Amino acid sequence: MAPTRNARVLFAAIPEGFPIPGKTTVYDSSQKIVLGTVPLNGGFLIKTLVLSIDPYMRARMRMSTEKDSYSAPFVLGAPLKSHGVGLVLRSENPDVTPGKYVYGVSIPHQEYSVLPNMEELIFLEKDPNLPWTVYVGAAGMPGKTAYMAWKEYSQAKKDETAFITTGAGAVGSMVIQLAKRDGLKVIACAGSEEKVKFIQELGADVAFNYKTTDMRTVLAREGPINIFWDNVGGDALDAALEHAAVYARFLECGMISAYNTGYRGSKKLHYIFTKSITVNGFVVFRMKPKYDTEFYETIPRLLASGELKYREEVSRGLETVGHTILRIMEGKNTGKAVVAVAEE
């Protein structure tokens, strides 16, 4: 059997500021693999179909000695890893059958991979009305983040007011719809007029471009805020604290404003006690044991029927990974960023 190309994307250098394609991440097509004979050593061989590109990947681009994070650093010189979907081609694991589809956080950014076991992976069955790309987006980790944290921490009550930052992103767009399904008034912001139009289509009652509209003016007029979903941190967090209602709930999902520029301390934390605000930080893997089954029974069906909307930005080929990461960091993507690596 002739060798097959096994292209990959390597973590090549720790970035200072924004990750630079070709420097921070390097596409390498020199590697070969013989699919029929590559040793499995009790594991299984997968063909990578789709890969998820997410903001948290920037936090993994750090020194291996920096351990203070919920996610391990990428290994210099090795392929990136992220959530993805793969098709099992061969297996020596009696629990993993060829033809099955696997999903999880540990999919290497290469065309083919031998995986030792199902750790951090699950089997998936696709709804016939959804493409695989959705299973790393609205029906995958971002959708889970929104669904699980909203259920666990929002304590949403009809006619309350929620404020959602990065409303056009993969997580924020789902949160908007969950809040509307619970009968809330939704304020949401994004960084372009195109994105504002999208969050209006999702049902947001108040949608604005934070780059051209003063956030505090909007919140003063439309608040106070009962629930704040924070994907941004920085000044947006301070503005939300200023305009929060007594007993507000703050759901701290991410702080993308700080990932490439360094973290800035909030100047408004005193509002947490003066307004009796509850603050919950979370990462999705800690909620999965409680909600994973419920999520898959609920969300893919609603996406397939059109009751929940989603938007994807799909690039094709591993060579696009570095540029897709940078687009996310610069806030240029709309909806979920996905790299389609191969067809089934």
Provide the 3-class DSSP secondary structure of residue 341: coil
Name the band, by pLDDT with cuts 50, 70 and 90, for residue 173: very high
Pairing outcome for strands 121-124 and 101-108? antiparallel
What is the number of other CB atoms lying within 10 angstroms of the CB of residue 218? Answer: 19
Q: Pinpoint the residues of the chain covered by CATH 3.40.50.720.
A: 141-285
Would you say the C-alpha torsion 266, 178, 176, 306 has a positive or negative sign? positive
Q: Pinpoint the residues of the chain covered by CATH 3.90.180.10.
A: 4-137+310-340
Residue 336, strand partner residues:
312
pTM confidence score:
0.91
Name the band, by pLDDT with cuts 50, 70 and 90, for residue 260: low
- Give the residue carrying structure tokens 């490439």: 260
Name the band, by pLDDT with cuts 50, 70 and 90, for residue 1: confident
Residue 279, strand partner residues:
250
Residue 154: the pLDDT is 98
User: Does 344 score more than 60 pLDDT?
Assistant: yes
Neighbouring residues of 212: CB distance < 8 A, sequence distance ≥ 6: none
Mean pLDDT (the chain) is 94
Topology classification of domain 4-137+310-340: Quinone Oxidoreductase; Chain A, domain 1 (3.90.180)
Q: How do residues 18-35 score in pLDDT, each as one tens digit?
A: 999 999 999 999 999 999
Q: How do residues 285-308 score in pLDDT, each as one tens digit?
A: 999 999 999 999 999 999 999 999
CATH of domain 141-285: 3.40.50.720
Q: How do residues 40-75 score in pLDDT, each as one tens digit?
A: 999 999 999 999 999 889 989 998 877 667 778 999
Peptide linkage before 55 cis (omega within 30 of 0): no
Q: How do residues 88-112 score in pLDDT, each as one tens digit?
A: 999 999 999 999 999 999 999 999 9
Q: Are 161 and 219 in contact (CB under 8 A)?
A: no
Average pLDDT over residues 107-129: 96
Residue 67: the pLDDT is 66
Distances (CA, A) of 41 to 3, 31, 247, 283, 334: 19, 20, 55, 33, 41
User: Does 190 score more than 80 pLDDT?
Assistant: yes
